[in-house]
């Protein structure tokens, strides 16, 4: 079945590349020497646009954690066919953004970078397997180049959105941009996941640490939570000179005879889980410390974490007693432009990815929206329930079955095209309880 799928993917995608080669060759053959260079440039641009359109109309093929754990699944054949499709989807949606955002310098640069990346990686799509060692090394070098090029996509797009909002936009434009950001970052997460897994699997099936690529087949949820908590505690100590204590409990509800504190494990990406926990803990710590200061408490209320395994899901419930938030605030916590923290200034220094010291992620309101995307990426979820005056419960849901933990991918098509180009303000339908959706 895997061989048939690979052959199908290759056959379906070879035709567009042949078209590009034929267009460039025909145009340059009929050009005079004085215009050959210009003709080649125009032909290449036209061919790239045609390729983008064709690849953008192809549907991405999602992959599950169970498949990623297999050495024969995230292969050169799969990535060289799949990454161009996902990049093309991103480019076509970027081109449909409202003019107010597209004219921002950072947004225009992001679009140009993704077009460049598409042109670089699509060149490998026509290579026949087995590829040589030199071709494989060239492909790996290209993936490294792609990752570096898009390292600062999130903070740069955040700055572009801030600049756009400062100019003033209608509610319809803001809604269209919010819809796009979810899709952009979800696609970005998926592409980086494929590249990281492929690169980490080169030359080894399993690392000394037990990781298979960047996946841990037996990821200990409590260990990752404690590591993320320690990281968030350092930031909290810097600002408040204190932090709440952590109380963790585990329970496997599928086995009534299991001890209360039986460790809960799952096949997952530790880095994704750490990112989610860190953002939630950071919010809980800040709320708890601010409440303790306001009420003159001698001790900061603890943050409690309950980790539960059921037949289908793993639920991580993070509870604080930091005063909660009113419903008008809770309705906006997943908006990229909304934050309950003090306003952050856009830094003058060049960022260095999400971990850069100059990146103003605190105060821009990107923590929870991105954490939600990471949770939903492998068929999970992140939900928040708050009691104003008391505290907040955040539930992180993970799929207990690695075969069911399949990528949730945005697909470019008529629905997304209409959503991106329709900037008229639409009254909210109160009966629509569908929540977040990529489609």
| Residues designated catalytic | 275, 279, 282-283
Query: Distance between CA atoms of 227 and 231, rounded to whole angstroms?
Result: 6
The pairing of strands 313-320 and 265-268 is unpaired
Structure-block tokens of residue 5: 């799928």
Q: Is the dihedral of CA 109, 411, 394, 244 positive or negative?
A: negative
In angstroms, the Cα distances linking 342 to 156, 194, 405, 436 are 20, 36, 37, 26
Tell me if 303 sits within 8 A of 391, measured CB to CB: no
Residue from 147, 93, 143 nearest 120 by CA: 143
Question: What is the rounded CA–CA span in Å between residue 105 and residue 208?
Answer: 44
Give the number of residues written for the chain.
439
Interatomic CA distance for residues 53 and 88, integer angstroms:
7
Strand partners, 246: 303
Question: Tokens for 37?
Answer: 């260079």
Q: What is the DSSP letter of 215?
A: B
Q: Contact at 8 Å (CB) between 315 and 396?
A: yes
Helix 171-200 with 153-167: angle, nearest 10 deg: 170
Nearest to 338 by CA among 375, 378, 369, 305: 369
């Amino acid at each position: 079945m895997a061989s048939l799928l690979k052959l199908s993917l290759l056959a379906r995608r070879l035709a567009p590349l042949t078209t590009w080669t034929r267009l460039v060759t025909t145009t340059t053959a009929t050009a005079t020497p004085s215009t050959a260079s210009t003709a080649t440039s125009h032909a290449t641009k036209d061919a790239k646009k045609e390729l983008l359109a064709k690849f953008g109309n192809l549907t991405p093929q999602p992959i599950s954690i169970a498949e990623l754990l297999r050495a024969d699944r995230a292969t050169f054949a799969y990535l060289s066919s799949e990454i161009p499709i996902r990049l093309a989807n991103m480019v076509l949606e970027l081109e449909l953004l409202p003019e107010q955002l597209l004219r921002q310098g950072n947004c225009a640069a992001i679009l140009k970078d993704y077009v460049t990346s598409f042109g670089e990686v699509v060149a490998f799509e026509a290579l026949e397997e087995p590829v040589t060692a030199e071709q494989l090394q060239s492909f790996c070098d290209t993936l490294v180049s792609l990752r570096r090029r898009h390292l600062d996509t999130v903070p740069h797009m955040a700055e572009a959105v801030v600049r756009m909002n400062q100019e003033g936009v209608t509610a319809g434009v803001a809604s269209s941009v919010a819809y796009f950001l979810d899709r952009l970052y979800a696609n970005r997460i998926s592409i980086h996941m494929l590249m990281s897994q492929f690169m980490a699997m080169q030359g080894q099936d399993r690392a000394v640490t037990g990781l298979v690529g960047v996946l841990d087949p037996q990821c200990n949820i409590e260990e990752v939570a404690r590591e993320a908590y320690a990281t968030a505690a350092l930031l909290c100590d810097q600002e408040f000179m204190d932090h709440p204590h952590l109380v963790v409990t585990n329970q496997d509800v599928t086995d009534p005879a299991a001890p209360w504190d039986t460790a809960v494990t799952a096949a997952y990406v530790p880095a994704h889980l750490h990112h989610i926990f860190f953002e939630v803990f950071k919010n809980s710590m800040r709320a708890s410390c601010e409440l303790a200061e306001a009420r003159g408490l001698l001790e900061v209320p603890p943050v409690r974490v309950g980790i539960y395994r059921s037949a289908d899901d793993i639920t991580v419930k993070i509870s604080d007693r930091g005063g909660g938030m009113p419903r008008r605030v809770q309705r906006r916590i997943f908006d990229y432009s909304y934050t309950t923290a003090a306003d952050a200034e856009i830094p003058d220094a060049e960022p260095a990815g999400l971990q850069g010291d100059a990146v103003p992620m605190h105060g821009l309101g990107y923590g929870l929206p991105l954490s939600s995307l990471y949770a939903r990426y492998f068929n999970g979820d992140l939900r928040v329930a708050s009691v104003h005056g008391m505290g907040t419960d955040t539930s992180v849901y993970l799929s207990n079955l690695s075969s069911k933990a399949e990528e949730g991918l945005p697909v470019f098509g008529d629905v997304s095209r209409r959503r991106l180009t329709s900037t008229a303000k639409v009254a909210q339908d109160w009966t629509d309880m569908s929540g977040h959706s990529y489609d």
